[in-house]
Structure 1
Amino acid sequence: MNILQALFFPPEQPGGVSSMVPYILERFNRRGWNMELFSLPKRVRQKGTEEVSFQTFDWRKFEGVPIVDKYIQTYKDYVWWTKLRLRGTYDVIHAHHPITGLVMKQLYPDTPVIMTIHSSFERELILNGKIAENGPEHTFLTSIYRELEDRVDQLITVSNSFKMYLSEYVQEPERIGVIPNGYDEKRFRPVSHENHIPQLITVCRLVPAKGLDILLKACAELKQKGLPFVLHLIGDGPIRQELEEMALQLNIYEEIIFYGYMLHPEDFMPFFDVFVLPSRAEAFGSVFAEAALCGLAVVGTNVGGIAEQIEHGQNGLLVPVDDAHALAGALEKVMSDPQYRYNLSRVAWEKAKNTYSLTRVIQQLRAVYRSYRKD
């Protein structure tokens, strides 16, 4: 079969779809499948001019709203770039962003298009304070789900909780498939080590949706109790300066290392002890599976796909969203008892290895792709 994996931007960032799709392509190509990767270069801006129309709603009633206008222009740019660069024919196109799914179906109407929805742009914007819930941007972005359902051949998402979220915006939610993300186990090698002072690590984009303000407050509580630790914060984003100022105000700046963006944090993640990320929303939470595969104990919030990965007290700890005191308590528990921490990390590693292996994803996708094969 000749299959196109259609991403939005190039797979530069760690985590999620960027961590998975290139490895999927490599595995399929190694087994004799003809698969290629396509994406929109970030330098392509304001190139597309072709008119955009949707079948299930009129987007023009949102015209003039900056986020909507930018979304539509990006759609036009993707159309322009696709027409410029793609010349082949495909048996199946697998899209990984709503714009790519709709554009590919527009330009390849007779080709089956499978669409994996990896996350919710509108929820991220709401949590990051960029748009208001039920405002015009929110209405526009959630209307895209119904458009996708109407036009692409199959919708897939990455967790049952996110499928439930999508069910509010589509006609037949029962038709949405669920294929959790998977990871090439060879990329992750737990390392036996002993840290005299517990080493905490988080990897994420520095935005309000990740709950890093709650993490800093929890760390301040740990310091007030006299518990030593170092927090390694990997990632960059618009609130980095705000977080650094908050760390100074809370008197924990000396306990935190701000690394900025890092391409392959999994290379040295195994040398730490606890992965923690108090996200306010996650469709799946790929970095938790990656941390577990690195042999770390994991602490997260009881929300979305995180709660599907972590069974509280068995392979990690869950705390309520926006509860700094509960987060501090969970961290204290894993920091102060190395044997308990080891037991959590061992079970987490076993579950991640068995549940989120790339081999499992390959098998599930192969079955989906073959169901559209023309005999």
Structure 2
Amino acid sequence: MNILQALFFPPEQPGGVSSMVPYIQESFLEKGWEMELFSLPKRVRSKGTEDVEFETFDWRAYAGHPIVDKYIQTYKDYVWWTRMRIRKSYDLIHAHHPIAGLVMKQLFPDTPVLVTIHSSYEKELTLNGKIAPGGPEETFLTSLYGELEHRLDGIVTVSRSFQTYLSRFVRNGDAIGVIPNGFDERRFRPVPHDNAVPQLISVCRLVPAKGLDVLLRACSELKRRGHPFVLHLIGDGPIREELERLAVELNIYEETIFYGYMLHPEEFMPFFDVFVLPSRAEAFGSVFAEAALCCLALVGTDVGGVAEQIDDGVNGLLVPVDDVAALADALEKVMSDPTYRYHMARSAWLKAKSTYALSRVIDQLQKLYVSLGRGKP
């Protein structure tokens, strides 16, 4: 079969989708399949001019709102770029973003198009204070799920909890498949080490939805309790300066290192002790699986796909969202007992190897591609 993987972000971008799909391509190529990657470059902006039409709702009812207008223009740009670059046909197109999926079906109506929805743009925007809950922008974005169901040949998502979320916006939620993300184990190499001071690490985009303000306050409480630590924050984003000011105000700036953007944090991660990320929402939370494959103890919030990865008290600890005291208690527990921390990290590593291996994703995708595609493997 000849398959196109249609991304939104270029594959060199960090994160669950972009860091996983090139390894999927590599695995299928090794099996003798044909597979190509396609994405919208950052330089392509405001090129598209074709009208956009959806079949299940009129997007013009939401025009004039910045998020909606930007989304529609990006849709037009994706159409323009696709027409410019794609000159051949495929047996199946696997999209990894609603825009990519809808554009591909518009331009290649006779080709089976499958979409994996990796996260909720409207949830992220709401949690980051960009749009109001229940407002027109959120309604526009959630209406796209019904459009995807109506026009595409299949919808997949990355966790059972996110499948439940999406089911609110489609007619047949049971038809949405679940394939959790998978990771090439060769990228992750645990390193035996003995840090005299517990090393905490978090890897994410610096936005309110990730709850890093809660993490900094919890670390301030740890310092008040007399626990030494170093907090390593890898990633960049719009609230970096705000977080740095908060670290100063909380008197933990000397214990906190802001690294900024890093393309391959998994090469850095194995030398630390505890991975912690108090997200306010996560469809899957790929970075937890990556940290587990690096044999780190995990501390996260009881939300979405994170709660499906962490069995509380077995291979990590879960705390309620926005609960500073609970997060401080959980960190204190894993920091103060190296043996407990080791066994928890070991359990996380074993579960990640058995549940989130890339080979499992390849097997599931291969069956799905054969069932939907018009070619032969």
| TM bin (shorter chain) | over 0.9
- What's the TM-score, normalizing by structure 1? 0.99
* Distance in 2 between residues matched to 1:255 and 1:63, nearest whole Å: 46
User: 1:201 aligns to what?
Assistant: 201
User: 1:48 aligns to what?
Assistant: 48
* Distance in 2 between residues matched to 1:108 and 1:348, nearest whole Å: 42
Does the CA contact (< 8 Å) of 2:153 and 2:372 recur in 1?
no
User: 1:131 aligns to what?
Assistant: 131
Deviation at 1:144, TM superposition (A): 0.4
The aligned runs of 1:280-291 (5 Å cut-off) are 280-291=280-291
* Distance in 2 between residues matched to 1:15 and 1:251, nearest whole Å: 31
The aligned runs of 1:363-374 (5 Å cut-off) are 363-374=363-374
Q: Which runs of 5+ in 2 are unaligned?
A: none
* Distance in 1 between residues matched to 2:13 and 2:348, nearest whole Å: 24
Report SS of the residue matched to 1:371.
helix
User: 1:235 aligns to what?
Assistant: 235
User: 2:69 aligns to what?
Assistant: 69
User: 2:151 aligns to what?
Assistant: 151
User: 1:8 aligns to what?
Assistant: 8
Deviation at 1:13, TM superposition (A): 2.7
Deviation at 1:9, TM superposition (A): 1.7
User: 1:118 aligns to what?
Assistant: 118
The aligned runs of 1:122-271 (5 Å cut-off) are 122-271=122-271
1:269-324 deviations in Å (ceiling 9; x for gaps): 00000000000000000000000000100000000000000000000000000001
Q: 1:68 to 1:373 in 2, by over 3 A?
A: closer
1:45-78 deviations in Å (ceiling 9; x for gaps): 0100000000000000111111100100000000
User: 2:343 aligns to what?
Assistant: 343
What is the identity percentage for the equivalent residue pairs of Structure 1 and Structure 2?
Answer: 75
The aligned runs of 1:303-342 (5 Å cut-off) are 303-342=303-342
- What's the TM-score, normalizing by structure 2? 0.99
Higher mean alpha-carbon deviation, 309-318 vs 12-21, is at 12-21
* Paired residues, number: 375
Deviation at 1:31, TM superposition (A): 1.1
Q: Which runs of 5+ in 1 are unaligned?
A: none
* Distance in 1 between residues matched to 2:340 and 2:69, nearest whole Å: 51
Deviation at 1:268, TM superposition (A): 1.4
User: 2:277 aligns to what?
Assistant: 277
Does the CA contact (< 8 Å) of 2:163 and 2:173 recur in 1?
yes
Query: Which runs of at least 4 in structure 1 moved beyond 3 Å after TM superposition?
Result: none
Report SS of the residue matched to 1:291.
helix
* Distance in 1 between residues matched to 2:246 and 2:275, nearest whole Å: 21
Are 1:105 and 2:96 counterparts? no
* Distance in 1 between residues matched to 2:369 and 2:359, nearest whole Å: 15
Partner amino acid, structure 2, of 1:116: T
Report SS of the residue matched to 1:237.
coil
Report SS of the residue matched to 2:321.
coil
* Distance in 2 between residues matched to 1:312 and 1:219, nearest whole Å: 21
Partner amino acid, structure 2, of 1:282: E
Deviation at 1:14, TM superposition (A): 2.3
Does the CA contact (< 8 Å) of 2:112 and 2:373 recur in 1?
no
Does the CA contact (< 8 Å) of 2:51 and 2:76 recur in 1?
yes
User: 1:359 aligns to what?
Assistant: 359
* Distance in 2 between residues matched to 1:259 and 1:321, nearest whole Å: 25
Report SS of the residue matched to 1:134.
coil
User: 1:297 aligns to what?
Assistant: 297
User: 1:89 aligns to what?
Assistant: 89
Deviation at 1:351, TM superposition (A): 0.2
1:157-176 deviations in Å (ceiling 9; x for gaps): 00000000001100000100
Partner amino acid, structure 1, of 2:166: L
Deviation at 1:372, TM superposition (A): 2.1
Partner amino acid, structure 2, of 1:364: Q
* Distance in 2 between residues matched to 1:14 and 1:61, nearest whole Å: 35
Deviation at 1:122, TM superposition (A): 0.2
* Distance in 2 between residues matched to 1:296 and 1:324, nearest whole Å: 21
* Distance in 2 between residues matched to 1:12 and 1:296, nearest whole Å: 25
Higher mean alpha-carbon deviation, 88-97 vs 11-20, is at 11-20
